[in-house]
Structure 1
Amino acid sequence: MATITERLTEMLAPAVEALDYELVGVEFIRAGKHSTLRVYIDHAEGISVDDCARVSHQVSAVLDVEDPINTEYNLEVSSPGMDRPLFNAAQYAQFAGEKAQVALNVPVSGKRKFTGVISQVAGDVVTFEVGEETLEVDVATIKKANIVPNFD
């Protein structure tokens, strides 16, 4: 059975892509009446506030028709930013060589949170270099991962 974020991603991707943006990912943060649906978009020329507004209107229309969330929530449309979240194996591969801050659903080698360099991706397994240690992590076990901005 697909998770709510997987269903939302499948539902919203065509609407976002029809406007010529990339759907980077979707987060649904449950908090009762203060829940948030965050939609990350990107474009080769960057993202402006007007881009976010266009996508927000399109996504709102889809959500109004499909009504996939049975609680109150706030919709946020955003660029991925400098600390870009990573959602799938293709994105990890795209940012190979970059440092990422990672939180896992289950510990790997005794670690539930770590910061490491994405060294390679094979299928759905991401290899991270964490100090002297190499960790192989299935994408499905990653709760949250963000690129660590490099200001050098």
Structure 2
Amino acid sequence: MNSSELQNKISAILTPELESRNWFLVDCKVNGGTVQVFVDSDKGFTIENCATISRFLEGELDKEFNFSSSYSLEVSSPGMGKPLKVLRQYRKYAGRKVSVLLNDGSRKEGRLVSANDNGILLEEIKTEKKKQTLLGQIEINFNQIKSTTVVVEFK
């Protein structure tokens, strides 16, 4: 089974289980003998949640083929520094400050107001010398976005 087939298999196995718990799959990567699965929920994701999904997935994959002797499985939440990948993450972080890298190389920063199937609404903010200026709201289509990360703010 090649890595793309394995990723599709993992997604097919996990999606119903995750949905039953109100969790969602963010990403799945296969690199050599390591399988990394990134899972999240609207209210945060704990180590116990990761362990639950890891046991479930390993058991399901072992039924199909000798997974645990062929691969190492890592299940985690994506973490704050990782780019947002799925619509549900964008919705989860509505109201938070984000940095959006566009395909043309430019960057927009501001508050994520909302997200829909087509893109995001951003309240753009320009920061100069610790002073923030509100530039207004802009709509950005997902096909224009290279990556979006949540900006950690300290108050």
The TM tier, using the shorter chain, reads 0.5 to 0.7
> Counterparts of 1:114 and 1:35 in 2: how far apart (Å)?
35
RMSD: 3.8
The runs of 5 or more residues in structure 2 that have no matched partner are 127-134
> Counterparts of 2:28 and 2:57 in 1: how far apart (Å)?
14
Is residue 117 of structure 1 aligned with residue 118 of structure 2? no
- Identify if the C-alpha distance between structure 1 residues 93 and 25 changes in structure 2 by more than 3 Å, giving closer, same or farther: same
Is residue 136 of structure 1 aligned with residue 140 of structure 2? yes
Q: How many residues align?
A: 138
Post-superposition CA distance 1:63-83 (Å, at most 9, x none)? 34457x9xx754221234444
Is residue 150 of structure 1 aligned with residue 153 of structure 2? yes
Post-superposition CA distance 1:19-54 (Å, at most 9, x none)? x351251231x54x265422223374x544333222
Is residue 11 of structure 1 aligned with residue 13 of structure 2? yes
Higher gyration radius (CA): 2
- Identify if the C-alpha distance between structure 1 residues 63 and 115 changes in structure 2 by more than 3 Å, giving closer, same or farther: farther
1:10-49 equivalences under 5 Å are 10-18=12-20, 20=21, 22-28=23-29, 31=31, 33=32, 35-42=34-41, 44=43, 47-49=45-47
Q: Secondary structure at the match of 1:151?
A: coil
1:55 to 53, 60, 64: 53
> Counterparts of 2:153 and 2:121 in 1: how far apart (Å)?
20
**Residues 95, 113 of structure 2: 8 Å contact kept:** yes
The runs of 5 or more residues in structure 1 that have no matched partner are none
Moved more, 89-98 or 76-85: 76-85
Aligned to 2:132: none
Partner AA of 1:26 in structure 2 = D
